[in-house]
């Protein structure tokens, strides 16, 4: 009797599962948006563009976009659904783009809809569009889905050691951190080709400046404590051109008196190998001379970069975090006053260990 009752109980439990009123989302019956773009129309009206892939019978992918304007981004989804034959869901979102004007005004309010939504991951790429995001998203790039294309573009460059690591989580981390400011890549169209044009520098959530292509790898090694595959190139004595690639960099901060007006030194050690060396003819490689030349160049450019950050009052390198974790009397306000005035030096040390397969 007891056994039968228990079996009955189990059966009830199993069958009741069907009555939980769970939303099923069948892949064929929804539109998975893969990228969104936000443009500023006026004061508090956004124009939102959503891209979703349409898989064709031949195996190709066609990108479709929907655009609408509103002042709340989830409201926008309802409005967009008015134009779509299948419900739009954001679970597969890969990239969120913001136009430059919007980024300059501040994007934390819009980012809220991404971080609050449990279906959006932390790996979403945040990018700033040079120009209108609608224009970028409406283009067809190759055979793939636009969202995946964009996120691959950024991710590939992150992994290849061209730009610093960035995603939604790291952006929010920098946005909230007291001694660190976030960055995001600036993407733009040039002659119908999508390019990573610059790296946008943010003051909390407002875009205030950018770093150009020539300083990408320098910014990367200065931001990340350990990184690999960063490349530098240089022209020595007019005709000798050298390019090196790092096998590993380490960053060490020397802060003698944290929270005081004393110098901060950043020791940057680069272990590298020579990728390319053109000097017009075969000659014995003057390793030391090349090392010295690189050290000089990195120091000059690095100091200029830090100067630029200090003038803008931003801290993408996280110097503030270094000071905060070293001092017991950390005070954000005091640090913000101190930071633009403090002198920060970069002391690079380049060590060329390999020269490729040629001598």
Partner 1 sequence: MVQKEEQVSPFLVFFLIHAIQVGVGILGFQRIVIKSGGNDSWIAVIAAAIIVSAVIFILYTLLNRHQMDIIQIQKKLFGKYIGSLFGLIWIMNWILLTVTVLSSFVEIVEVWVFSTINIYVFAFIFILLTYYCLTGGFRVVAGICVLGTIIPMYLYLTFLFPLEHTHLRNLLPIWNHSIKEMGLATRDMSLSYLGFSSLLMYYPYIKNAKSSQKWAHFGNILTCLIYLFLMVITIGYFSEKQLSHHIWATLSLWKIVELPFVERFEYIGITSWVLMILPNICLLVWAAAEGIGKVVNIKQKKVLLIILLIVYILTIFMSGRERIDMMNNVSAKLGLFLLFVYIPVLSAYSFVWNKLKEKKK
CA torsion 186-192-193-194 (nearest 10°) is: 30
Asked if 27 interacts with partner 1 (CB under 8 A), we say no
Helices 73-81, 108-116: inter-axial angle, 10-degree rounding: 70
Q: Per rule CB under 8 A, is residue 123 in the interface with partner 1? A: yes
User: Contact between 178 and partner 1 (CB under 8 A)?
Assistant: yes
Site for partner 1 contains 17 (CB under 8 A):
yes
21 binds partner 1 (CB under 8 A): yes
Window 42 to 101, contacts with partner 1 (CB under 8 A) = 91-92
Question: Interface with partner 1 includes 158 (CB under 8 A)?
Answer: no
170 binds partner 1 (CB under 8 A): yes
Rule CB under 8 A: say whether 9 interacts with partner 1.
Answer: yes
Dihedral sign computed on CA atoms, order 260, 224, 241, 293:
positive
Structure tokens at 355: 């020269």
Contacting range for partner 1; rule: CB under 8 A; set: 60-68, 111-119, 145-153, 305-313: 111-119
Residue from 172, 183, 196, 236 touching partner 1 (CB under 8 A): that is: 172
Q: How many chain residues interact with partner 1 (CB under 8 A)? A: 40
CB-nearer residue toward partner 1: 32 or 102: 32
How many other CB atoms are found less than 10 A from the CB of residue 212?
Answer: 11
Based on the shown chain and the rule CB under 8 A, indicate whether residue 140 belongs to the binding site for partner 1. Answer: no
With binding defined as CB under 8 A, does residue 256 bind partner 1? no
Chain-centroid distance, C-alpha 228:
17
Report which of 266, 175, 178 is spatially closest to residue 219, judged by C-alpha positions.
266
Task: Between 108 and 243, name the residue whose CB sits nearer to partner 1.
Answer: 108
CB nearer partner 1, residue 81 or residue 195: 81
Residue 105 is a binding residue for partner 1 (CB under 8 A): no
Nearest C-alpha neighbor of 182 from the set 82, 37, 15, 318 = 318
Interatomic CA distance for residues 166 and 224, integer angstroms: 11
x/- map, 307-346, partner 1, by CB under 8 A: --------------xx--xxxx-x----------------
CA dihedral 291, 296, 299, 305 (to 10 degrees): -120
Q: How many CA atoms lie less than 13 Å away from 285 in the CB half-sphere?
A: 19
Closest to 197 in 3D by CA, of 244, 122, 136: 136
207 lies in the site for partner 1, by CB under 8 A: no
Report which of 214, 325, 321, 228 is spatially closest to residue 269, judged by C-alpha positions.
Answer: 228
Tell whether residue 229 is a contact of partner 1 (CB under 8 A).
Answer: no
> Measured from the CB atom, is 272 or 323 closer to partner 1?
323
User: Which residue of 4, 16, 27, 357 would you call a contact of partner 1, by CB under 8 A?
Assistant: 16
* Measured distance CA(153)–CA(162) in Å, rounded: 11
Q: Does residue number 109 form part of the binding site for partner 1 (CB under 8 A)? A: no
The answer to whether the beta carbons of residues 208 and 202 sit under 8 Å apart is: yes
Q: In the complex, which residues of this chain contact partner 1 (CB under 8 A)?
A: 2, 6, 9-10, 12-13, 16-17, 19-23, 91-92, 115, 118-123, 165, 169-170, 172-178, 180, 321-322, 325-328, 330
């Amino acid at each position: 009797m007891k056994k039968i009752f228990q079996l009955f109980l189990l059966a009830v439990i199993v069958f009741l599962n069907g009555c939980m009123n769970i939303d099923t989302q069948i892949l064929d019956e929804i539109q998975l948006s893969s990228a969104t773009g936000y443009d500023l129309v006026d004061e508090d009206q956004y124009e939102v563009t959503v891209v979703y892939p349409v898989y064709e019978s031949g195996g190709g992918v066609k990108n479709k976009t929907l655009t609408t304007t509103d002042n709340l981004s989830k409201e926008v989804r309802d409005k967009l659904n008015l134009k779509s034959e299948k419900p739009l869901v954001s679970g597969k979102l890969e990239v969120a783009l913001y136009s430059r004007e919007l980024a300059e005004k501040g994007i934390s309010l819009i980012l809220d809809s991404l971080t609050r939504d449990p279906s959006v991951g932390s790996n979403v790429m945040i990018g700033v569009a040079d120009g209108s995001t609608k224009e970028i998203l409406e283009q067809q790039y190759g055979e793939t889905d636009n969202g995946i294309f964009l996120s691959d573009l950024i991710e590939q460059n992150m992994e290849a050691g061209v730009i610093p690591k960035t995603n939604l989580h790291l952006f929010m981390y920098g946005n909230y951190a007291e001694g660190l400011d976030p960055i995001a890549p600036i993407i733009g169209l040039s002659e119908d080709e999508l390019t990573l044009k610059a790296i946008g520098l943010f003051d909390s959530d407002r875009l205030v400046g950018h770093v150009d292509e020539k300083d990408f790898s320098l910014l990367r090694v200065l931001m990340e404590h350990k990184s690999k595959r960063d490349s530098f190139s240089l022209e020595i004595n007019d005709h000798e051109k050298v390019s090196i690639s790092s096998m590993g960099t380490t960053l060490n901060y020397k802060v003698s008196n944290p929270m005081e007006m004393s110098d901060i030194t950043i020791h940057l050690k680069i272990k590298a190998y020579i990728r390319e060396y053109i000097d017009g003819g075969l000659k014995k490689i003057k390793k030391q001379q090349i090392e010295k030349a690189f050290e000089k160049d990195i120091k000059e450019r690095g100091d200029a970069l830090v100067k630029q950050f200090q003038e803008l009052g931003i801290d993408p390198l996280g110097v503030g975090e270094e000071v905060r974790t070293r001092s017991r009397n950390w005070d954000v306000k005091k640090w913000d006053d101190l930071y633009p005035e403090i002198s920060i030096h970069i002391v690079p040390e380049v060590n060329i260990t390999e020269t490729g397969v040629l001598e």
